[in-house]
């Protein structure tokens, strides 16, 4: 995989479950990562978590910013601060959204659906409006991270509100990719079929968080240009080779992540 040295990547949702795997993969490949979050405490937790897996020199390229990237006004301020302190973003990864559980749609409240839409569809809309214009000129890559609930209902999990919101997010991706088709930007959707909780890949998950991070880094390193407009469903490690991802060492990395912190 090509090095990401001198690349500045914004990771929205870096403090979530999947975000840390993405940040780690980018840092390991030489990128500088800007990680915004509304919570300084969560950003501190992210840095502590990564310190168990990334050496100090690489961790020094993690730059954290407190602010709400899903709010139009604060997102503009964050973009300016990131540009001034880290550099003009070369790529953006958006992995945001809350799991708003609703056992029954008919019993759900309007406010719950609004929350699902706010934290998924509308937040992604704001992030794209904030950062995608500059990528259209520079030729950068914008990656939507998505889950399978946008494409299929899973009865019994209470995720119908999330399905509604992320299905809208999927169409947002299509619309933005279409509008960016004549520009230099690459817009890609990566749908990860994995089970991750508390920043740990679960034993029953068909895919590791490290694999997802590796694919994101691969897209940003140049593969995103050929994948523009594609919605890539990542279901198994066997797909990595088909996508052109060098999977060598990923199993060892994943195994190391499951070891108790030293």
Alpha-helix runs per DSSP H in the chain: 19-28, 40-51, 56-59, 72-85, 110-117, 123-138, 160-179, 209-220, 239-243, 250-258
Between residues 89 and 261, the one the model is more confident about: 89
Both tokens of 56, joined, read 């100090």
Say what the pLDDT of residue 249 is. 53
**What are the backbone dihedrals phi and psi of residue 191, each rounded to the nearest 5 degrees, phi first?**
-100, 110
Both tokens of 63, joined, read 């730059």
Q: Which of 30, 31, 20 is nearest to 53 (CA)?
A: 20
Per DSSP, 61 falls in state T
Residue 33: strand, helix, or coil: strand
Kindly report the number of other CB atoms within 10 A of residue 111's CB atom: 10
Q: What is the mean pLDDT of the chain?
A: 91
What element of type H or E holds 192? strand 186-192
Residue 52: strand, helix, or coil: coil
Please provide the size of the chain in residues: 262
Q: What is the pLDDT of residues 219-231, one digit of tens each?
A: 999 876 889 999 9
pLDDT for 46 beyond 70: yes
Q: What is the pLDDT of residues 176-202, one digit of tens each?
A: 999 999 999 999 999 999 988 888 889
- Could you give the CA distance from residue 53 to residue 45 in angstroms, rounded to a whole number? 13
Residue 222: strand, helix, or coil: coil
Domains for the chain: give ranges and CATH numbers. 8-258 (3.40.50.720)
The CA R_g of the chain, rounded to the nearest whole Å, is 17
- The residue with tokens 């569809």 is 121
pLDDT band at residue 81 under the 50/70/90 scheme: very high
The answer to whether the beta carbons of residues 87 and 60 sit under 8 Å apart is: no
Say what the pLDDT of residue 242 is. 86
- Could you give the CA distance from residue 116 to residue 260 in angstroms, rounded to a whole number? 34
pLDDT band at residue 1 under the 50/70/90 scheme: very low
pLDDT for 260 beyond 70: no
Say what the pLDDT of residue 2 is. 58
DSSP 63-111: EEEES-TTSHHHHHHHHHHHHHHT-S-SEEEE--------S-GGG--HH
Pairing of strands 8-12, 91-94: parallel
Dmax (CA) of the chain:
52
């Amino acid at each position: 995989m090509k090095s990401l040295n001198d690349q500045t990547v914004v990771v929205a949702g870096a403090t979530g479950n999947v975000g840390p795997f993405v940040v780690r993969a980018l840092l390991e490949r030489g990128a500088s990562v800007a990680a915004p979050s509304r919570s300084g405490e969560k950003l501190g937790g992210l840095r502590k978590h990564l310190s168990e897996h990334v050496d100090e020199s690489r961790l020094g390229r993690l730059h954290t910013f407190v602010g709400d990237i899903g709010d139009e006004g604060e997102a503009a301020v964050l973009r300016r601060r990131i540009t001034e302190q880290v550099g003009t973003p070369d790529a953006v990864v958006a992995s945001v959204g809350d799991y708003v559980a609703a056992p029954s749609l008919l019993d759900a409240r309007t406010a719950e659906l609004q929350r699902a839409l706010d934290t998924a569809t509308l937040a992604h809309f704001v992030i794209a409006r904030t950062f995608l214009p500059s990528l259209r000129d520079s030729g950068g890559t914008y990656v939507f991270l998505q889950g399978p609930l946008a494409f299929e209902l899973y009865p019994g999990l209470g995720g119908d509100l999330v399905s509604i919101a992320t299905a809208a997010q999927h169409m947002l991706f299509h619309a933005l990719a279409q509008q960016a088709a004549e520009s230099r930007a690459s817009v890609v959707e990566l749908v990860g079929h994995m089970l991750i909780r508390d920043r740990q890949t679960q034993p029953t998950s068909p895919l590791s968080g490290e694999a997802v991070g590796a694919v994101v880094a691969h897209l940003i390193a140049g593969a995103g240009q050929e994948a523009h407009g594609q919605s890539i469903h990542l279901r198994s490690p066997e797909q990595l080779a088909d996508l052109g991802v060098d999977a060598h060492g990923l199993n060892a990395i994943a195994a190391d992540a499951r070891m108790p912190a030293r």
